[in-house]
Structure 1
């Protein structure tokens, strides 16, 4: 497949990167690995696997968007590369995915992006891994956005100048929005795409990841919230309501009447509502509902963090959970 390029990004992924590199089909001739300051031998591993390596300038802040753009820029533009397969270094590409995705884009001239089923390698290891696995399981068909693993049409990607390198998170939905504004389509198909290793074993990791999501939602709303679909507005409002507004309203209201504390019953009611979606007889449904509700607190902090950085003109830095 001379018309497909695989672009991998990573930082200190260790054995996960080795598995990622080994999962690339032998028929793919163009492989670029973009490293964001690894100290674990990732660069040497990528070179040993035959990938072209791009090491990002350490004097500039790292972002996944910047790394992916660097991988794209490193490709020889004289080659007939029609499709770009982006994959994170903690993922493995499923054996049939590249051909399946390429065939789909070839037969769907309006599609700029196609993604499939990303699964967690160890979904039952922790509740946090399982939450990730469920997050990846989005509906089949035309979609609003993709994640970090996706195949994109190279000419469409170039036409919108790729990812916004200033974004520390949420760069994929933002890119997909710009593509859709240009008349392109984003699809999720019923095909196995990648195995992901979240390696989330601690509550602190879950908290940071949710905080990053809040930051991404707030920035997305600030950039594109006035578009017809109001990008990022609804999740940002939900995070602020559950994570920031409701608790102080209940506590301040209690100064006037103790009955105001009853407002806090909205939290167990929300857990019950979310658990009913999966079935009240399943213990994991209650676990998921609990963590999705608790997650609104760090998401709200992420929203505040974005606006604080914007108001103070403070440089954005990655919110890493691994």
Structure 2
């Protein structure tokens, strides 16, 4: 399978990067690692593990999209016979049989541009935030609208649509998939283990920043492709506006004339919404504990998403693009990735 190459991206991943590149290396395939300004020895580590390293220009803003494009360009320049590229974030490691399974799927589906499988969290029991991520990645099997940061892509299709939009700080994978499907290609999620992810998230403020980044991605995606027939992230953005902005603002405006009654009504509405979401997950077979967590954090998350969406809208109005929103501390920053990462 010398027609399969790999592109890994990361920044200050430490031991996570070692696991990532070890799982991808030694397979007789071209491997490129793109580094976004690490200061923990990641570049030297990657080279010692046999990766061809691309160091991004520090004078330009980092984005995962920019890093993946740079890796793709280096990979295809050095290995022109590569037909398929496996993208992987530096905090993930590949499942043993994934590359052969993904390549076979692309071989048997001539119009398939992207194939992805199941990403799992390495330690879902370490925190509620890790567990939420593991649940988030358990998505339906079959033809899909989008993929995440880990996916195998057909070189021809990637070139056909011009690759990732390097200006996007989040949501770059679904946006790419919009253009891929628009060009007549398809995206598929298969029932196979793909990668093991190391979220390493232990604090509420980390979860909040990650969720705010998702809100930014939803708002920007809707601005780019939200009109029919695609309506990309349109519903997600409408929910942010209603639950995270309009409803609480209305309650605040009415608080004085209603002597605070509007705030009490607002609290009841959010409680009922939490109960409704809980019931939906239970009907889908999710455990009571996971259903409670999903319901509570979905409702609270609308406020974090609203913060991210406002950041995008204000930046757009002022003509300034947002910088990457990272959820890890500087000492343990992960790969700059999209909302599903």
Query: TM-score w.r.t. structure 1 length?
Result: 0.97
Go from structure 1 to structure 2 and tell me whether the alpha carbon gap of 1:81 and 1:253 turns closer, same or farther (over 3 Å shift).
Answer: same
Q: Determine if contact 2:25/2:31 at 8 Å carries over to the other structure.
A: no
Cross-structure match for 1:264: 267
Alignment of 1:58-137 (within 5 A): 58-77=58-77, 79-137=80-138
Q: 1:150 aligned to 2:156?
A: no
Structure 1 residue 251, shift from structure 2 partner: 2.5
Distance across 1 between alignment mates of 2:230 and 2:19 = 38
Q: 1:17 aligned to 2:3?
A: no
Q: Determine if contact 1:92/1:195 at 8 Å carries over to the other structure.
A: yes
Q: What's the secondary structure of 1:214's corresponding residue?
A: helix
Distance across 1 between alignment mates of 2:281 and 2:231 = 28
Cross-structure match for 2:301: 295
Distance across 2 between alignment mates of 1:219 and 1:118 = 25
Distance across 2 between alignment mates of 1:284 and 1:160 = 39
Structure 1 residue 76, shift from structure 2 partner: 4.1
Q: What's the secondary structure of 1:244's corresponding residue?
A: helix
Structure 1 residue 25, shift from structure 2 partner: 5.6
Alignment size in residue pairs: 322
Cross-structure match for 1:45: 45
Cross-structure match for 1:179: 180
Q: What's the secondary structure of 1:131's corresponding residue?
A: helix
Q: What's the secondary structure of 1:119's corresponding residue?
A: strand
More deviation, 207-216/16-25: 16-25
Distance across 1 between alignment mates of 2:269 and 2:2 = 56
Structure 1 residue 250, shift from structure 2 partner: 1.6
Q: 1:232 aligned to 2:230?
A: no
Distance across 2 between alignment mates of 1:185 and 1:283 = 36
Structure 1 residue 276, shift from structure 2 partner: 1.2
Cross-structure match for 1:314: 320
Deviations 1:232-270 (A, max 9, x none): 111111112111111121232233335433133111111
Query: TM-score w.r.t. structure 2 length?
Result: 0.92
Q: Determine if contact 1:25/1:95 at 8 Å carries over to the other structure.
A: no
Q: Determine if contact 1:91/1:196 at 8 Å carries over to the other structure.
A: yes
CA RMSD of aligned residues (A): 1.4
Q: What's the secondary structure of 1:295's corresponding residue?
A: helix
Point out where structure 1 has 5 or more consecutive residues left out of the alignment. none
Q: What's the secondary structure of 2:24's corresponding residue?
A: coil
More deviation, 273-282/123-132: 273-282
